[in-house]
């Protein structure tokens, strides 16, 4: 059976209840987002006219091969690197710089190596001036949710990759941002650890219903996690497909529906992968 793929603008007919945004989950409006790096002959058009309205509480995956602008778009949503054209708004307000309402998790853990797990989780709360007793309670609660309670005194170097990434997620959750931005957060993990953390993330998302924008190269990861998958084209990064995943959770990666969707997305991503390979071979973008 072929999985039914719906465009995100089509009315939602879901195999599960529609996402309930958590209190304060934020909507993100991306309008005609464009980004050019450099000028003249050497200019790289990383994004070109990407638009998407992301409702509060939605779990969106940005999918595509290397160089299609996924991180560029995520960094623009984070406010790390402004667009050169178009706009991004969060709850109607233009995103112009980084802010505490948008927490970012990177692939490379980004923990402070000289701090313990507890200090890493607590760091943002201290910066915010949260009272000690309140911060203690938040750290204890988040550590418990992520299975870190017995590791609070350890340093990052003494943790596995999976545990470090739990700490990175815990740091963000402690600040309770309405939006979580995740740039290939599980890309460096082995398959079993990756699946475990995907399940943890889904559990956390189901509880808090934050808006999540998650970058991945992995088609399976995108289908396993997302409400919605945005496929970008290789240079310039344009919207290739914007689809709602019509599968109930927990998703069965062995099901016919899952694999039909995987095949369909693989076809789309392969087209862009070929453009990437061709560009690498010729040393230029294929616009």
DSSP string, 72-128: HHHHHHHTSS--SEEEEEETTEEP-S--TTEEEE-TT----TTS-HHHHHHHHHHHH
The residue count for binding ligand ATP (CB under 6 A) is 14
Return d(Cα 106, Cα 230) in angstroms, integer.
19
**Range 188-217, binding ligand ATP (CB under 6 A):** 217
Select the span of 65-73, 118-126, 155-163, 173-181 touching ligand ATP (CB under 6 A): 65-73
Q: Which of 233, 276, 244, 184 is nearest to 15 (CA)?
A: 244
Residue 70 in the binding site for ligand ATP (CB under 6 A) = yes
Q: How far is the CB of 236 from ligand ATP (least distance, A)?
A: 9
Q: Which is nearer to ligand ATP, 69 or 79 (CB)?
A: 69
Cβ-based neighbour number of residue 168 at 10 Å: 24
Write the DSSP symbol of residue 236.
Answer: S
**Range 34-63, binding ligand ATP (CB under 6 A):** 37-38, 44, 46
Return d(Cα 235, Cα 43) in angstroms, integer.
11
Hunting for tokens 């409006």 — which residue is that?
Answer: 29
Residue 239 in the binding site for ligand ATP (CB under 6 A) = no
Q: Which is nearer to ligand ATP, 29 or 46 (CB)?
A: 46
Residue 72 in the binding site for ligand ATP (CB under 6 A) = yes
Q: Which is nearer to ligand ATP, 47 or 170 (CB)?
A: 47
Q: Which is nearer to ligand ATP, 58 or 71 (CB)?
A: 71
Applying CB under 6 A, which residues contact ligand ATP?
Answer: 37-38, 44, 46, 64, 66-72, 217, 235
């Amino acid at each position: 059976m072929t999985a039914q793929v719906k465009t995100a603008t089509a009315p939602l007919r879901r195999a599960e209840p529609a996402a309930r945004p958590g209190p304060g989950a934020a909507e993100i409006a991306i309008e005609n987002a464009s980004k050019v790096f450099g000028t003249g002959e050497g200019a790289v058009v990383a994004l070109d006219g990407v638009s998407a309205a992301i409702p509060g509480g939605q779990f969106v995956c940005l999918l595509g091969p290397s160089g299609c602008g996924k991180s560029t778009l995520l960094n623009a949503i984070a406010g790390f690197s402004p667009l050169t054209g178009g706009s991004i708004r969060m709850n109607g307000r233009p995103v112009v710089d980084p802010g505490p309402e948008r927490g970012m998790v990177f692939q490379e853990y980004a923990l402070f190596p000289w701090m313990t797990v507890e200090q890493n989780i607590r760091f943002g709360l201290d910066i915010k001036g949260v009272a000690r007793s309140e911060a203690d309670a938040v750290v204890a609660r988040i550590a418990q949710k992520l299975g870190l309670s017995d590791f609070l005194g350890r340093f990052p170097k003494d943790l596995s990759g999976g545990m470090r990434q739990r700490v990175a997620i815990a740091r963000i959750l402690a600040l309770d941002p309405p939006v979580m931005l995740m740039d290939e957060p599980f890309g460096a993990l082995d398959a079993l650890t990756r699946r475990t953390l995907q399940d943890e993330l889904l559990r956390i998302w189901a509880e808090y219903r934050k808006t999540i924008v998650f970058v991945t190269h992995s088609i399976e990861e995108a289908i396993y996690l997302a409400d919605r998958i945005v496929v970008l084209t290789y240079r310039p990064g344009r919207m290739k497909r914007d689809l709602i995943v019509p599968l109930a959770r927990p998703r069965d990666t062995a099901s016919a529906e899952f694999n039909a969707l995987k095949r369909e997305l693989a076809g789309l991503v392969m087209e862009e992968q070929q453009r990437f390979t061709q560009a690498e071979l010729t040393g230029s973008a294929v616009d």
